[in-house]
Amino acid sequence: MAASGFADLPAPPYYAVIFSSQRSAADAEGYDRTATRMAELVRDQPGFLGFESTRGADGFGITVAYFDSEQSIRAWREHAEHTVARDLGHRRWYQRFEQRIAVVQRAYGGPHTPSD
């Protein structure tokens, strides 16, 4: 992830795994520790391109992880340590979650330049 919070991504096409979640109040320290570890671990996954993540004060968050292929997404999903963390999330850390996988076909944007 770039210093700005935006992922530094190649030109499309690529895949986006969109994870929306509502945090529970349980075990904030364990959640933070595990989230940090998952962010470190996914960076070493073949095919991982980057991620963007945010969470509001109400506990609602969205993380978008970008991968080069469905096979790379599957490999991350099957990673042993990620599987344990995901199971803990389902049982302890999330009141609700949704995951969606999409193909990014076009991407555009850039820095805002204020006009005078």
Better-scored residue on pLDDT, 47 or 109: 47
pTM above 0.95, yes or no: no
> What does the pLDDT read at residue 116?
61
Q: What percent of the chain has pLDDT over 90?
A: 89
> What does the pLDDT read at residue 66?
98
CA dist 104 → 4, 48, 66, 89, 97 (Å): 21, 14, 9, 27, 22
